[in-house]
């Protein structure tokens, strides 16, 4: 399994994998917030301002080829995502969730259809786009201090190296005088990868300068068809072991970890494989010929694809649709709050599900003690 090659950009965050494993080990305590925590990783904060992020809100796959675990929460909550993360007060979360429900339910029949959810997902995706545009304004200002609206590769290179701890003035001077830059191998690889991407983001006619819009697609490839395609190519290149430009299931599920050290890690590997296999077979391989082409992956990753949004809407409804009417009612969405928002409604669980369960147990003479404690633990966790 050592043949997994992480992208050069991915390698920049050398600790990402370790963080991923640590967070995955901690998955029971904080489910569904892996990338949120990753973003809060102290070392990546400063880099993120001028470096393309690994995680893109509202995009199904991360830049390094990992599935975006928070995708459905991102397209359900839009820019309100962080509110639910920071705010653990169940009553307020409950109120907010009810507010969202009434907004999604456009025709006010107290039930959310797949069409209504699809429309909502598209709206929330648009919010993530707007957020990225806003953040990009700040990032662009940071790389274009003279404010002439254009950034050269050399200017960007200086800013990037400065963010890596190099002396900004020295580096700028050396680049100006065409002197050799002494950078370590890893930084050099990242620089080359960034450079490729930089020139990809330079729209025709290529002038080797990026304006604010081009810089947005440099940081956020989901904002441009050309850059989305470039991102797909990079991901396929990293996973494609036989180099035929397409992905088999085996290539897609190759593990990023060389060795499995203990049972817990083994379980995570198993989950990782299971989820990727499911996604590959059921969603990404749209024509089900067991091969994922670049075109299929591009369709899959396109956040503005309405067909994908409808699929996602149906999946989201199916998870919580207890009465099987292919619609979501308020009760269903509240009960599955954790799935939709990443945060549990403890009071709701206590007041309803647990109590219902406890009373059903009391009436059940042949109660199974083990099942009882397991279920109670699940609800109270
Ligand atoms: Ca409705
Ligand atoms: Ca292949
Ligand atoms: Ca296919
Ligand atoms: Ca229902």
Q: From the CA of 324, which ligand is nearest?
A: 4
The CA 285 to ligand 3 mean position distance, Å, reads: 4
| Residue 12 in domain | no
CA–CA distance, 225 with 76 (Å, rounded to integer): 24
Q: Residues with Cβ within 5 Å of ion ligand 3?
A: 285, 287, 289, 291
Average pLDDT of the chain to the nearest whole number? 82
pLDDT of residue 145: 83
The CA 341 to ligand 4 mean position distance, Å, reads: 18
The CA 246 to ligand 3 mean position distance, Å, reads: 9
Query: Helix, strand, coil shares of the chain as percentages rounded to 5?
Result: 65, 5, 35
For residues 93 and 345, the answer to whether their CB atoms sit within 8 Å is: yes
Q: From the CA of 320, which ligand is nearest?
A: 4
The CA 187 to ligand 1 mean position distance, Å, reads: 52
For residues 243 and 255, the answer to whether their CB atoms sit within 8 Å is: no
Q: Using alpha carbons, select from 214, 216, 209 the residue that is nearest to residue 148.
A: 209
Q: From the CA of 290, which ligand is nearest?
A: 3
| Residue 69 in domain | yes
CA–CA distance, 33 with 84 (Å, rounded to integer): 11
For residues 251 and 290, the answer to whether their CB atoms sit within 8 Å is: no
Q: Three-state DSSP class for 325? A: coil
Token look-up 């509110």 returns: 83
Q: Residues with Cβ within 5 Å of ion ligand 4?
A: 321, 323, 325, 327
| Residue 244 in domain | no
| Residue 330 in domain | yes
| Residue 108 in domain | yes
CA–CA distance, 335 with 322 (Å, rounded to integer): 10
| Residue 146 in domain | yes
pLDDT of residue 206: 86
| pLDDT classification of 260: cutoffs 50, 70, 90 | low
Q: Which tens digit of pLDDT belongs to each residue from 30-60?
A: 233 333 333 434 444 444 489 999 999 999 9
Q: Which residues sit opposite 67 in a β-bridge?
A: 61
Query: 21-30, 40-49, 238-247, 359-368: lowest mean pLDDT where?
Result: 21-30
Q: From the CA of 297, which ligand is nearest?
A: 3
The CA 278 to ligand 3 mean position distance, Å, reads: 14
The CA 245 to ligand 2 mean position distance, Å, reads: 6
Six token digits for residue 340: 């939709």
The CA 366 to ligand 2 mean position distance, Å, reads: 55
Q: Three-state DSSP class for 112? A: strand
Q: Which tens digit of pLDDT belongs to each residue from 112-135?
A: 999 999 999 999 999 999 999 999
Share of the chain above pLDDT 90, in %: 64
The CA 278 to ligand 1 mean position distance, Å, reads: 30
**Section 243-256 average pLDDT:** 90
Phi, psi at residue 371, to the nearest 5°? -60, -40
Distant-in-sequence, close-in-space partners of 152: CB < 8 Å, separation ≥ 6: 208, 209
For residues 127 and 79, the answer to whether their CB atoms sit within 8 Å is: yes
Q: How many domains does the chain have?
A: 1
| Residue 216 in domain | yes
Distant-in-sequence, close-in-space partners of 319: CB < 8 Å, separation ≥ 6: 336, 339
| pLDDT classification of 1: cutoffs 50, 70, 90 | very low
The CA 286 to ligand 4 mean position distance, Å, reads: 27
The CA 372 to ligand 4 mean position distance, Å, reads: 27
The CA 328 to ligand 1 mean position distance, Å, reads: 9
CB atoms within 10 A of CB 144: 21
| Residue 160 in domain | yes
Taking the whole predicted model, whether its pTM rises above 0.95 is answered as no
Domain limits for position 355 = 46-222+304-380
């Amino acid at each position: 399994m050592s043949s997994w090659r992480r992208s050069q950009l991915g390698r920049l965050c050398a600790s990402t994998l370790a963080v991923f494993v640590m967070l995955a080990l901690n998955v029971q305590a904080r489910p569904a917030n892996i990338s949120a925590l990753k973003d809060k990783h102290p070392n990546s904060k400063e880099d993120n301002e001028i470096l393309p992020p690994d995680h893109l809100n509202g995009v199904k796959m991360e830049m390094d080829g990992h599935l975006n675990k928070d995708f459905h929460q991102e397209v359900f909550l839009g820019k309100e995502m962080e509110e639910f993360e920071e705010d653990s007060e169940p009553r307020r979360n409950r109120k907010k969730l009810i507010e969202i429900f009434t907004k999604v339910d456009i025709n006010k029949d107290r039930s959310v259809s797949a069409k209504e959810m699809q429309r909502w997902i598209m709206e929330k995706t648009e919010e993530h786009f707007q957020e990225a545009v806003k953040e990009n304004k700040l990032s662009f200002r940071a790389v274009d201090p003279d404010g002439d609206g254009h950034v050269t590769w050399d200017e960007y290179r200086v800013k990037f190296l400065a963010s890596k701890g190099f002396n900004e003035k020295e580096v700028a001077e050396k680049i100006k005088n065409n002197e050799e830059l002494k950078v370590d191998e890893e930084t050099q690889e990242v620089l080359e990868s960034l450079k490729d991407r930089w020139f990809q983001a330079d729209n025709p006619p290529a002038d080797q300068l990026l304006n604010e819009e081009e810089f947005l697609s440099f940081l956020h490839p989901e904002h441009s068809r050309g850059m989305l395609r470039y991102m797909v190519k990079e991901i396929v290149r990293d996973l494609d072991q036989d180099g035929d430009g397409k992905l088999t299931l085996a290539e897609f599920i190759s593990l990023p970890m060389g060795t499995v050290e203990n049972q817990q890690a083994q379980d995570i590997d198993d989950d990782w494989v299971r989820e990727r296999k499911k996604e590959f077979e059921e969603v990404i391989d749209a024509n089900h010929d067991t091969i994922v082409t670049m075109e299929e992956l591009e369709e899959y990753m396109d956040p503005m694809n309405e067909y994908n949004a409808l699929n996602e809407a149906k999946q989201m409804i199916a998870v919580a649709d207890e009465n099987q009417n292919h619609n979501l009612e308020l009760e269903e969405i509240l009960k599955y709050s954790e799935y939709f928002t990443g945060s549990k409604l403890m009071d709701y669980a206590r007041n309803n599900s647990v109590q219902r369960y406890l009373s059903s147990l009391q009436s059940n003479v042949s109660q199974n003690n083990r099942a009882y404690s397991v279920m109670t633990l699940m609800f109270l966790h």
